[in-house]
Copies of this chain bind each other. A is one copy, B any other.
Amino acid sequence: MIPDITIDPVLVERLIVDMAQFGAVGTTGVWRTVYSPEWSAAMDCYAAWCVEAGLVVHRDAVGNVWGRLPGREPGGSIVSGSHIDSQRPGGRYDGALGALAALVALRALREHYGPPRRTLECLAFCEEEGSRFPATNFWGSRAITGRIATHEADALRDYDGVTMAEAMRAVGLDPARIGDAARDDIAAFIELHIEQGPILEHRQVPVGIVTGITGLRHYVVTVRGAANHAGAFPMDLRRDPMAGAAEIIAGVISHAAQLGRPAVTTVGRISAEPNYPAIIPGSVTFTIDARHPDAMALAALYDHHETLMRDVAARRGLDITWHTTIDLPPSPADPAIVAALTDAAHALGVPTISLHSGAGHDSQVMASRAPMAMIFVQSRDGRSHTPEEFTSVEHAVAGIRVLAAGLYQLAYQ
């Protein structure tokens, strides 16, 4: 039996607006990178709100803030949360909404139903965006799942050259103790997050139940030919890497478009050498970001793209090389949790659709240690990573109700 969970929209709006004051940029922007003064203030506030909500606060070795509602029975915790850090600048919702949603859900559950059978925890991850230390992201969830390598804190540097270890010490954390943040007692993890895409809006539903997180690969591709004078070199004697790159780029994008959802392929970055209007380039370098939530389909997508690259280069007499900078397998959500959330939404009368996440999230890191699922709420115009990102309180509340009802099923029944 799923109770008709009530969530106060005034409270939700107040928490979103108040949290957005830490690192505020303009009227709606947020610039809150890990271990910055704004970040510390936001984490202190989150901890204070947890105390207000009757939760037991714990800050771990990397600064993740946990709010605990102890269960009556032993066993692993049911955890929900998201990250508190932002892009530079980002908006109010990416990350923060999920941390606040978990807090609001636990507060409502405690108020209405008292102590749960199994322990519930809400969580604000310290870092996910990679917006201060470009070579890392998922710092919070990697610490919790024991996936931070020794000495990594000394090797990672931010855009100003400060190491992660120095940044941690500056906020009172000891990098030698990172390993202490690892947990092996998480029984389930649920993250509420803005969709960052247009699908929910397009389908006019407030909430999506995420069936899995996409697998993805980032390629850096370099096509090499022969730089020559744009006027004096006839077309038939050229080895023009721009011609080859354009054919490959058009081809990989077109292939993903023909496959249709959920395949996506993006070329976001490109440069030519020597990059003069009147010189045929000697080389063109570009990225390919290819994603699919199904492992077999993903492999086929990669295979198509690589075959096309080889074929175009060979036909045009060009040299081509590539390497991958990111290679993540798909992370399927846990079917039992997905079913619990879907049942909850149905019982509450919240319209939902199933969809996958095309973006990466802490949940895919948490999936290595615990069954995982995600709840998406509408993003206006699909925007994120910008001060213009927006989710209505109505949609946020709908998502939090589904989250709370799902947590109720997992922790109270």
Distance of A278 from chain B, by nearest CB (Å): 5
A5 sits at the interface (CB 8 A): no
Binds B, one of A31-39, A229-237, A346-354, A402-410: A229-237
Does A179 belong to the interface (CB within 8 Å)?
A: no
B266 adjacent to A230 (CB under 8 Å):
yes
Residue A25 lies at the interface, judged by CB distance under 8 Å to chain B: no
Within 8 Å by CB of A231, from B247, B278, B358, lies: B358
A280/B268 contact (C-beta < 8 A), A229-B384, A233-B382, A289-B230 known: yes
Q: Kindly state whether residue A276 has any CB partner on chain B within 8 Å.
A: yes
Contacts of A195 in B (CB 8 A): 232
Q: Is the CB of B230 within 8 A of A268?
A: yes
CB A329 to nearest CB in B, in angstroms, measures 14
- Also in contact, A250 and B247, with CB within 8 A (given A242-B270, A264-B230): yes
* B278 contacts A197, C-beta separation under 8 Å: no
A272 and B383 CA atoms in complex are apart in Å by 19
Copies of the polypeptide in the assembly: 2
* A291 part of interface (Cβ distance < 8 Å): yes
User: Is A70 among interface residues, defined by CB-CB distance under 8 A?
Assistant: no
Residue from A214, A230, A266 with most neighbouring chain B CB atoms (10 Å)? A266
Q: Give the Cβ gap from A293 to chain B, nearest Cβ, in Å.
A: 10
The answer to the question of A263 belonging to the interface, with a C-beta cut-off of 8 Å to chain B, is yes
C-alpha gap A267/B247 in the complex (Å): 13
- The answer to whether A260 and B232 touch (CB under 8 A), given A242-B253, A246-B249, A289-B277, is no
Roughly how many angstroms separate A229 CA and B232 CA in the complex, as a whole number? 42
Does A106 make an interface contact (CB < 8 A)? no
- Those of A269-296 within 8 Å (CB) of chain B: 269-272, 275-281, 284, 287, 289, 291
Query: Is A202 part of the contact surface with B, judged by Cβ < 8 Å?
Result: yes
Residues A240 and B264 in contact, CB atoms below 8 Å apart:
no
Chain B residues lying within 8 Å of A383, measured Cβ to Cβ, are 228
Contacts of A197 in B (CB 8 A): 228-229, 231-234
On whether the beta carbons of B237 and A243 are closer than 8 Å, the reply is no
| Cβ proximity bits A366-386 to B, threshold 8 Å, 1 near / 0 not | 000000000000010011110
Cβ of B268 and Cβ of A278 under 8 Å apart? yes
For A284, the chain B residues whose CB sits under 8 A away are 270
Chain B nearest CB from A376 CB (Å) reads: 9
Residues of chain A at the chain B interface (Cβ within 8 Å): 195-199, 202, 214, 216, 218, 228-237, 240, 242-243, 245-247, 249-250, 253-254, 256-257, 260-272, 275-281, 284, 287, 289, 291, 325, 357-360, 379, 382-385
Could you list 12 examples of A-B contacts with CB < 8 Å? Answer: A197-B234, A198-B234, A230-B289, A232-B382, A233-B264, A234-B358, A235-B263, A243-B257, A246-B247, A268-B280, A268-B281, A270-B284
